[in-house]
Amino acid sequence: MTFYSLAMKNIKRNFRNYSLYIFSTTLSIFIYYAFSTIRYNDKIFTVAEEVLKFKALLQMSNYIIAFVVVIFIWYANTFFMKKRKKEVALFSLVGVKKTQIGRMLLIENALVALISLVLGILIGIIFSKFLIMILLRIMLIRVEIPFSIPIKSVIETTIIFAAIFLVVSVHSYTLVYRVKIIDLFHSSKKKEQEPKTNIFMATASIILIGCGYYLSQHAVNDYFLTYALIISGCVIIGTFPLFSSFTTALFKYLKRHKKLFYKGTNLITLTNLTYKLKSHARTLAIITLLTATTISAMGSLYGLYVTLSRANENEHPYSYVFREENMDSTDEIVDIIEQYPNHKILDKERFTFLAITTDMQSIHNEESYFNRESVSMAYSKLSDYNQVAAKQGLPTFQHLEDNECILVTPYYHFDTFGPANQNQIVIKNAPNERYVLKDVVQKAFLSTNYYPFTAVVSDEKYHAISLAGNPTDTMIGIEVKNEVFSQSLTTQLKDYCKGKNISITDYYTTIRTLSEKKAVALFSGFFLGVVFLIATGSIIYLKLITEAYEEKDKFIILRKLGFSYKEIKTIAKKQIFIIFAMPLIIGIIHACFALSTFNHMLVIDATDAFIVAILFFVIIYFAYYWLTVNYYNKVLSKS
């Protein structure tokens, strides 16, 4: 039998273990390849406008993937080696040279690497077009991308992963030399001593994490960066003793409650967990932090995406807003739009505003909210407003007093400014003209590009102010169908306006630049999240299944004592569940605090997005739990 066939046999025999490993590496290679394909796809960059940032982000993502994969493969290999220590020692015992054993392991590793690479790139080739289509879709670009296999990507992916596999293989090769034959006879017969409780460390971990949580709720101030640094420091440093000391203390405390401890299988579950959590403390802490990072990253990116889309809608209620002295060109503009049957005119409004330099103040002290710099506000009359509001589903108002106004703007933050009726606006050149805000409508009137703030006053008052000689401004807002995909129409309208000296703002351009940025962030955030998730899931899985064999003896004893197979399965399941659940739950709590800070900082509400991110994470994580339990059951049923 040659070493090659022996290695082949080993992989076949250990296929269950290798399958998950190969699955994880394959998926990472696939994602790496897909990113690299996008990076090398020139077609995308001819249509996307934010090319440079885009490429840098993808490059960065690729680096991170490679880094995570290095850690993951390293971990996995160490586990495989641990598991096969006996095998290596046995080969040594029958006189196989260590170099030969090493060579055999190298062949095995090479085979795994080859299988993962071929599979990963193959899947990449098949699905990369699909992924690019998804990316373009969220970037709101409609372009056909032809199927292609960029040789550059294939080569890059192969080189990077071959190098990773090589480094790791060399590492496991050296492990062969550290295996002693004596280990064959008493390998896992270690003395198990109950972990000592370190009350100081346990308390410290709680205090540190508590501090981090507390500070995170007060972090949105001028020293945000310093705070962020202190908070992450506290939480990261606190998480490690949380698993190594706090859980030990907690379980010891639980053990003292005899009623609970002596009940059913709790006795075994609790003691086993005390040992396990202690010995896996570092891994669990790392997994907690990875979980927290992944969820926060995915949640905040997705939240940003959703919220910005919503905000954009609020800032641009109309597809196009034109501004011209007398709006003589309206008919011509309508003619142009009518050439596009896809973009039917849904609504067309003509408005006249008064443009007045205005300040906003609190009614109690006269401190300006605009840092003493007044802004040019658009003044509109109530009847005009109500007409639009009815169409757009905004609140309408029956009546306004002479000293009242309604502020229409997406930029009024109740957190910062306080309730509406505590504020007033003051016309700069006529300090006696003040209007208390009766209400705030958080949407743009026409387009924030011209006037971020619009003040609505009663018709009589409007008339009075207009007599004071304030300049008027006339605009036309047109809403068309399928505005998101109105590239050619927009280009034509822009060209037309340029010639006529008409000012135009459009929804399409704004949403496009925004969505490109967001789309790339969302896209790479999501796939990075997936890679992290695979890595964390696989690490716990491998850790637990290597233990399954050591645990087996324990379960055989219980079996002999009359525990039923079902009870033993329950014990195993409970243990695995807690080991999976603890880092997940703590990670999610960490993430929730991070996300609440994030919400607070950007004054948005991205809760839905966070829930989606957490659910996504939990579901995939649960798959790993299920795999582990299955594996345990297989091992246990053999005894």
**CB-based contacts of 565-573 (< 8 A; 24+ apart in sequence):** 565/636, 565/637, 567/265, 568/636, 569/632, 569/633, 569/636, 570/265, 571/265, 571/268, 571/269, 571/272, 572/629, 572/632, 572/633, 572/636, 573/629, 573/632
Does 570 contact other proteins by CB under 8 A?
Answer: no
Per-residue CA distances from 107 to 305, 480, 540 (Å):
46, 64, 26
Q: Of the candidates 127, 369, 565, 577, which one interacts with other proteins according to CB under 8 A?
A: 565
Q: Quick one: 229 or 260, whose CB is closer to other proteins?
A: 260
* Calpha distance 483→348 (Å, rounded): 14
- The enclosing H or E element of 360 equals strand 345-362
Per-residue CA distances from 199 to 141, 253, 256 (Å):
58, 12, 16
Q: Draw the binding track, 296-325, toward other proteins (x: CB under 8 A; -: no contact).
A: ------------------------------
Distance in Å, CB of 191 to other proteins, minimum: 5
From the list 339, 379, 336, the residue with the least C-alpha distance to 357 is 379
Distance in Å, CB of 193 to other proteins, minimum: 7
Does 399 contact other proteins by CB under 8 A?
Answer: no
Does 187 contact other proteins by CB under 8 A?
Answer: no
Half-sphere exposure of 224 (CA within 13 A, CB side): 9
Distance in Å, CB of 155 to other proteins, minimum: 52
* Calpha distance 471→379 (Å, rounded): 11
Q: Of the candidates 266, 312, 376, 386, which one interacts with other proteins according to CB under 8 A?
A: 266
Distance in Å, CB of 564 to other proteins, minimum: 4
* Calpha distance 402→217 (Å, rounded): 42
Tokens of 268: 């075994």
**Cβ atoms within 10 A of the Cβ of 196, count?**
9
Does 639 contact other proteins by CB under 8 A?
Answer: no
Per-residue CA distances from 588 to 71, 272, 582, 584 (Å):
22, 25, 10, 6
- The enclosing H or E element of 377 equals strand 375-381
Does 64 contact other proteins by CB under 8 A?
Answer: no
Does 554 contact other proteins by CB under 8 A?
Answer: yes
* Calpha distance 309→518 (Å, rounded): 9
341-349, 412-420, 540-548, 553-561 -> range binding other proteins (CB under 8 A): 553-561
Q: Of the candidates 46, 94, 186, 193, which one interacts with other proteins according to CB under 8 A?
A: 193
Does 268 contact other proteins by CB under 8 A?
Answer: yes
* Calpha distance 295→307 (Å, rounded): 17
Q: Of the candidates 78, 198, 232, 271, which one interacts with other proteins according to CB under 8 A?
A: 271
Distance in Å, CB of 572 to other proteins, minimum: 14
Half-sphere exposure of 120 (CA within 13 A, CB side): 30
Q: Quick one: 513 or 637, whose CB is closer to other proteins?
A: 637
Does 569 contact other proteins by CB under 8 A?
Answer: no
Q: Quick one: 195 or 317, whose CB is closer to other proteins?
A: 195
Single-letter code of the amino acid located at 167: V
Distance in Å, CB of 93 to other proteins, minimum: 24
Does 567 contact other proteins by CB under 8 A?
Answer: yes
From the list 591, 522, 141, the residue with the least C-alpha distance to 307 is 522
Q: Quick one: 363 or 557, whose CB is closer to other proteins?
A: 557
Per-residue CA distances from 130 to 34, 37, 124, 135, 137 (Å):
10, 12, 10, 9, 10
Does 562 contact other proteins by CB under 8 A?
Answer: yes
Does 566 contact other proteins by CB under 8 A?
Answer: yes
Distance in Å, CB of 180 to other proteins, minimum: 22
Contact status, residue 73 vs residue 128, Cβ threshold 8 Å: no
Distance in Å, CB of 570 to other proteins, minimum: 11
- How many amino acids of this chain bind other proteins (CB under 8 A)? 29
Distance in Å, CB of 195 to other proteins, minimum: 10
Beta strands in 430-582 (DSSP E): 434-441, 454-457, 472-480, 503-506
Q: Quick one: 191 or 399, whose CB is closer to other proteins?
A: 191
Contact set for other proteins, span 204-263 (CB under 8 A)? 258-259, 261-263
Q: Of the candidates 148, 265, 362, 509, which one interacts with other proteins according to CB under 8 A?
A: 265
Does 607 contact other proteins by CB under 8 A?
Answer: no
- Exposure string (b/e) for 139-164, b if CB count within 10 Å is 16 or more? bbbeeebeebebeebbebbbebbeeb
Q: Of the candidates 159, 194, 229, 338, which one interacts with other proteins according to CB under 8 A?
A: 194
Does 564 contact other proteins by CB under 8 A?
Answer: yes
Q: Quick one: 214 or 262, whose CB is closer to other proteins?
A: 262
Q: Quick one: 269 or 536, whose CB is closer to other proteins?
A: 269
Distance in Å, CB of 539 to other proteins, minimum: 23
Q: Of the candidates 275, 340, 369, 622, which one interacts with other proteins according to CB under 8 A?
A: 275
Q: Quick one: 267 or 618, whose CB is closer to other proteins?
A: 267
Q: Of the candidates 12, 46, 147, 192, which one interacts with other proteins according to CB under 8 A?
A: 192
Beta-bridge partners for 537: none
36-44, 104-112, 190-198, 504-512 -> range binding other proteins (CB under 8 A): 190-198
Distance in Å, CB of 78 to other proteins, minimum: 24
441: helix, strand or coil? strand
Q: Write out the DSSP string of 173-199.
A: HHHHHH--GGGGTSSS-----PPPP-H
Distance in Å, CB of 562 to other proteins, minimum: 3
Does 272 contact other proteins by CB under 8 A?
Answer: yes
Q: Quick one: 12 or 189, whose CB is closer to other proteins?
A: 189
Does 560 contact other proteins by CB under 8 A?
Answer: yes
* Calpha distance 302→583 (Å, rounded): 23
**Cβ atoms within 10 A of the Cβ of 312, count?**
16
- The enclosing H or E element of 378 equals strand 375-381
Q: Of the candidates 23, 485, 563, 622, which one interacts with other proteins according to CB under 8 A?
A: 563
Half-sphere exposure of 521 (CA within 13 A, CB side): 18
Does 186 contact other proteins by CB under 8 A?
Answer: no
Does 196 contact other proteins by CB under 8 A?
Answer: no
Distance in Å, CB of 540 to other proteins, minimum: 20
Give the interface with other proteins as residue ranges (CB under 8 A).
Answer: 191-194, 258-259, 261-268, 271-272, 274-275, 554, 557-558, 560-567
